[in-house]
Amino acid sequence: MSQSEHFDEEEELTLSISPSARPRRVIKNTNSKRFTEEEDAKIVKFLAEKAATATETLPKMAMCEEFVKLTASQRKATGINNRFLHIGPKIQKTEHLDTETKVRILFAWGFPVDKHFLEHLRTEAEVNVDVKNRITLFKGNGLELPSGEHARKRPGRKATVFTAEEDAAILKFVADRADLFLEGTMTVKAIWNNCKTECYSTRQWHALYGRFRGSIAPVMHLREDIDTVTKVKILFATRISVDPKFLEKLRAEASVKTDPRGRIIEYKGNDGLDLNMSYRTQDIRRKRAAATALSAPEPPIAEPPIRVIKREPSPDLEKFQENENKSIVRNVKTEGEETPDLFVLKHLERRRRSTSLTPNIDVSGLVIHLLNFFKTQNSLDQNQQKKNKKELLKKIRVILNGTEDPELAMLAQQMEFTSEEDTDICKYLAERAVEATARFSMNTFWQEYVDSGRTNRTNEEISQRFQAHLAGNIHGMNEFDVPTRAMMLFATRTPVSGAFATLVEEEKILNILAEKCTFWTRPVTLKKLWREFQSRYNSMKAFAIFQNEFKHNVAPKIENSARIGLETRARMLYVTRTSISRRFMEEVNRESDVEVIVNNRMRIIMIRTRDEEENENRSESNGMDSMEDSVTDDIYDGPTIQEALEKIVLGETDEKEVHVEWPDDILNSELLNEEYRWLSAELVD
């Protein structure tokens, strides 16, 4: 038997020990003979029977296992699959099968079509193939196969395409169990394993979860068979970004607060639904811990005894006072000892669990708030910072010693600012910041806010709230435009992130372009805009970087800059040769006083006013003769730029005597001189 004959056989590798005590490789054939003609005939018959009713690509490995059971074959499914792949492409060359059967087999099993057979089929029917020459569409000779793409499948792998029935089952499961998602007592894996069981799905839990987050949840707000409360619960619990239009609808009926990624973190509805992400996280941890303790078969491990803290200052607290400038969230251990700040938080949590403190005060959150507070005092002088730190450490000692203090309750209340209060603070800051010419004195500023009667809180409460929670979020407050946010950061001395600095720079470029586009009557090069940007803002940015940022970041924003008028945006796109969308073109032509004309690359080549359009239409209706005369008059019969430059360089004429339609930006720049040098060198050579 030749080596090539072994390709159709299944082999099994075993190890045996030779007399020399060395393991040697032994090949054991599980199939002692090649495929017979009878087996091949059964395979062809099976292929034809399955293909007769198939409307999409069949799973080969599953079909091979079915063939083994049906024919009681002694071979393995992998061997049958290899034979399928060997025989299938050759079926189109056989003569004992009709054309319809061949086409059905090639389509259903995803075998590639020979180019000669494909040419023969296309003479009688409409045939489409993919890049691998597999049939995706066949119409003709009384046979019509559905259109579709062949899925890339490995043998035995389940299809990756979800059906409409599967999507409906997943959505029904999620909608029926919105409260279960909200409680958070079960892990994601446990929830979606339940979905797999109840929906009778053969897919893995992570495939169902990924389908929901990637395809079903983004369009869930469009479903009318699910009420708004259920949608909000699901979006809140699963941490999925909310569609902007749906978010506007929610905010019209409730108070909704989102993070920079558009996910709901706080919701207060008129129907009584109250959701808060910070409280929910703590509740979930407690519920899961309780559920784990109840479900665990072994008895729970006893907590270490609570350390009794005396009323006099402990060494740990003194050590904490020495390290007060260090970060408060560090899961670091040095030489087996906990960091002082972590030590404080752990003891506070133990005291809270033992209910030795006032139950209505969130001690852990309160202390984190206190420790965060003195980290945000950079705007104050050193003496004031030290004074604030001493006061805060006194309050921490009060908590450690378990003494009830009315000031603690007041501080706890300070943490419970509503979203309406936060919004009002930011609005007041924005109104004052846009008019500011210098940085604010923050104590005076917040006192003016309190005196305005817009809040019942004290100056210190507002200041602490702003420093701890609002200042760091100014960058992402999309309800204010970029210049307003920049002024808010400037007036309050808040550090600027790198991403927001880039956003401000892009806004500067848009401002220059909006100002200059009314004077530039022709498209200009980006170098001209770059030079203007350099001279105005003393920028040292290289042109290559400027060009790349403009192309990828600034140009796509011009269309949607709502603060700039439609006509101005159209002129900005025209002078920068930026492609526009058909929607924007229709909007300009419909709602502005100008009309734009674009080329086949959707770039504006002309902007004309309504009066110019009417005059042009009137001139076109004056008759064929006048139109021909006007066309003849418009023909430019002077020298080309190349000819004119040659005459100027050779001294045959003066530049002023040459009438060439040169753009103004060329005449007013150094580009013409560069042409002189280039042409002079060419003529001398």
pLDDT at 359 over 50: no
pLDDT of residue 658: 44
pLDDT higher for 153 or 221?
221
One-letter amino acid for residue 461 of the chain:
E
Phi, psi (degrees; rounded to nearest 5) at 434: -65, -20
pLDDT band at 3 (very low <50, low <70, confident <90, very high): very low
Question: In the chain, pLDDT over 70 holds for what percent of residues?
Answer: 61
Residue 292 has a pLDDT of 54
Which pLDDT score is estimated for 634? 40
Residue 106, C-beta contacts closer than 8 angstroms, at least 6 positions apart: 88, 91, 92, 113, 134, 135
**Locate tokens 């992402």: which residue?**
476
pLDDT for res 368: 58
* pLDDT for the residue 418: 73
Q: Which of the pair, 308 or 464, is modelled with greater confidence? A: 464
Per-residue pLDDT at 370: 58
pLDDT of residue 396: 58
Q: Specify the pLDDT at position 339.
A: 42
Band (pLDDT 50/70/90 cuts) for residue 147 is low
Quote the CA–CA distance of 94 and 67 in Å, as a whole number. 22
The predicted-structure confidence for 630-667, as pLDDT tens digits, reads as follows 433 443 444 555 555 555 555 555 444 444 444 444 44
Coil, helix or strand at residue 376 = coil
Which pLDDT score is estimated for 652? 54
pTM over 0.75: no
What's the chain's average pLDDT?
70
> Is 93 or 490 the better-scoring residue by pLDDT?
490
Q: What is the DSSP string of 38-102?
A: HHHHHHHHHHHHHHHT-SS---HHHHHHHHHHHHT-SS-HHHHHHHHHHHGGGGGG-SSS-HHHH
The residue written with tokens 């923050």 in the block is: 442
482 pLDDT higher than 60 = yes
State the average pLDDT over residues 524-550. 85
Q: Choose from 363-372, 408-417, 432-441 the range with maximum mean pLDDT.
A: 432-441
Is the pLDDT assigned to residue 151 strictly greater than 50? no
Decide if pLDDT at 406 tops 60.
no
Cα gap 15→51, rounded to integer Å: 42
What pLDDT score was predicted for residue 574? 87
Q: Residue 45 and residue 557: Cα distance in Å, rounded? A: 61
378 — pLDDT class (breaks 50, 70, 90): low
The pLDDT score that the predictor gives to residue 91 is 80
Q: Of 214 and 8, which is predicted with more confidence? A: 214
Tokens representing 555 are 């140009």
Residue 614: which pLDDT band, with cuts at 50, 70 and 90? low
Which has the minimum average pLDDT: 7-11, 216-220, 273-277?
A: 7-11
List 505's β-bridge partners, or say none: none
Q: What is the pLDDT of residue 478?
A: 80
Which of 467-471, 579-583, 617-621 bottoms out in mean pLDDT, i.e. has the lowest? 617-621
Residue 32: pLDDT band by 50, 70, 90 thresholds? very low
Query: Given a cut of 70, is residue 75 above it in pLDDT?
Result: yes
Q: Is pLDDT at 335 greater than 70 in this prediction? A: no
Residue-wise pLDDT for 283-328, tens only, equals: 555 555 555 554 445 444 444 443 433 444 445 444 444 444 443 3
pLDDT confidence of residue 369: 58
pLDDT-based confidence at residue 617 (cuts at 50, 70, 90) = low
Sorted by sequence, the CB contacts under 8 Å of residue 400 that are 6+ apart come out as 309, 314, 317, 344, 347, 348, 351
**What sign does the CA torsion over 404, 407, 408, 409 have?**
positive
Kindly state the average pLDDT of the residues 393-413. Answer: 53
Contact 425, 466 (CB under 8 A): yes
Q: At 610, is the pLDDT very low, low, confident or very high (cuts 50, 70, 90)? A: low
Is-contact 124 140, C-beta < 8 A?
A: yes
**pLDDT over threshold 80, residue 511:** yes
Answer whether residue 81 shows pLDDT above 70: yes
pLDDT at 311: 40
Average pLDDT over residues 197-218: 84
495 backbone φψ class: left, alpha, beta (φ>0; ψ -120 to 50): beta
